[in-house]
């Protein structure tokens, strides 16, 4: 079987993906289209699989909340909080996620804020960021990752999915599409675009004391998806 055929099959929503997409049925046509495009353009399943199966998880830059919904629906032991600077997207997320609001919440948060969890020490079992850091200047990406790392409990994970800067043809294709989305159509909030190689981010997180694994998620895909799984040493107290 060609690798492309496997990738096509992997893109089809699984049961939790279908349930997550169905949450948006009552939303505007734009929100429905946006969530559908997000599902097919981003490999949500391996990102969700990199998160702990239980515990409190924060998604920074959750947009309409599709990934948070999916991550909660595929593992009943998880509860998620999604934050975003875009109040319109959060309003759609809150409406769509209402049927599962006991396990997934969405809130507006200012740029750079990493909220505390409602757990005993305020730390999160995991924090996940999916295709958001590139909307910040490099120094702000570094600062946000450092702020997020500080809020992950010992033994917890910081999972980051962004676009790699290689291979160059995929990186060029991605930049073209994002320029259209951020600067021309203004579908996505963000004044800047800075694609930092995941290897560089991995170095930042290692400096902060995390063990980091970098995985490519772009086999059979046009976009250079890459994921960092960063684990904070220690165990929860
Ligand atoms: C490409 S979307 C990804 C949304 C979601 N993570 C997903 O995978 O579907 C990027 C999101 O980042 C949000 N964003 C941009 N700058 C942000 C910031 N400084 N803090 C939090 N969210 C931000 C945008 O509003 C947008 O919803």
Distance 83 CA to ligand 1 centre (A): 9
Task: Indicate if ligand 1 lies below 6 Å from the C-beta of 210.
Answer: no
> From the CA of 163, how far away is ligand 1's center (Å)?
14
Cα–Cα dist 198/225, whole Å: 10
What strands lie across the sheet with 78-84, from one edge to the other?
104-108, 78-84, 55-60, 124-130, 152-163, 225-231, 211-216
pTM score of the predicted model = 0.94
From atom 4 of ligand 1, which residue's Cα is the shortest distance away? 63
Local confidence band at 1 (pLDDT 50, 70, 90 cut-offs)? very low
pLDDT digits (tens, 9 = 90+) for 88-120: 999 999 999 999 999 999 999 999 999 999 988
Fold type of domain 3-109+121-231: Rossmann fold (3.40.50)
Task: Place 180 in a pLDDT band, splitting at 50, 70 and 90.
Answer: confident
- Grouping H, G, I as helix, E, B as strand and the rest as coil, residue 157 is strand
pLDDT tens track for 128-171: 999 999 999 999 999 999 999 999 999 999 999 999 999 999 99
Cα 103 to Cα 49, 52, 68, 111, 128: the distances in Å are: 18, 15, 10, 24, 16
Please, how many CA atoms are within 13 Å of residue 74, restricted to the half-sphere of its CB?
Answer: 24
What would the pLDDT profile of 193-208 be if each residue is shown by its tens digit? 899 999 999 999 999 9
Contact 171, 221 (CB under 8 A): no
User: What value does the mean pLDDT take over residues 215-223?
Assistant: 95
Classify residue 197 by its DSSP letter: -
């Amino acid at each position: 079987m060609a690798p492309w055929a496997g990738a096509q099959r992997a893109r089809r929503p699984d049961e939790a993906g279908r349930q997550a997409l169905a949450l948006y049925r009552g939303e505007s046509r734009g929100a429905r289209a946006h969530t559908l495009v997000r599902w097919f353009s981003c490999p949500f399943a391996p990102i969700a699989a990199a998160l702990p199966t239980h515990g409190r998880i924060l998604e920074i830059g959750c947009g309409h909340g599709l990934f948070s919904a999916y991550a909660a629906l595929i593992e009943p032991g998880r509860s998620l909080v999604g934050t975003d600077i875009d109040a319109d997207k959060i309003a759609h997320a809150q409406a769509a996620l209402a049927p599962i609001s006991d396990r997934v919440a969405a809130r507006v948060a200012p740029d750079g804020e990493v909220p505390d969890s409602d757990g005993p020490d305020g730390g999160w079992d995991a924090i996940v960021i999916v295709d958001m850091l590139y909307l910040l200047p490099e120094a702000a990406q570094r600062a946000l990752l450092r702020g997020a790392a500080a809020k992950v409990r010992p033994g917890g994970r910081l999972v980051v999915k962004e676009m790699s800067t290689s291979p160059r043809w995929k990186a060029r294709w991605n930049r073209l599409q994002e320029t259209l989305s951020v600067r021309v159509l203004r579908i996505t909030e963000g004044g800047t675009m800075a694609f930092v190689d995941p290897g560089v981010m991995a170095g930042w997180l290692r400096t902060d004391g995390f063990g980091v694994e970098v995985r490519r998620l772009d086999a059979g895909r046009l976009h250079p998806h890459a994921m960092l799984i960063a684990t904070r040493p220690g165990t929860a107290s």
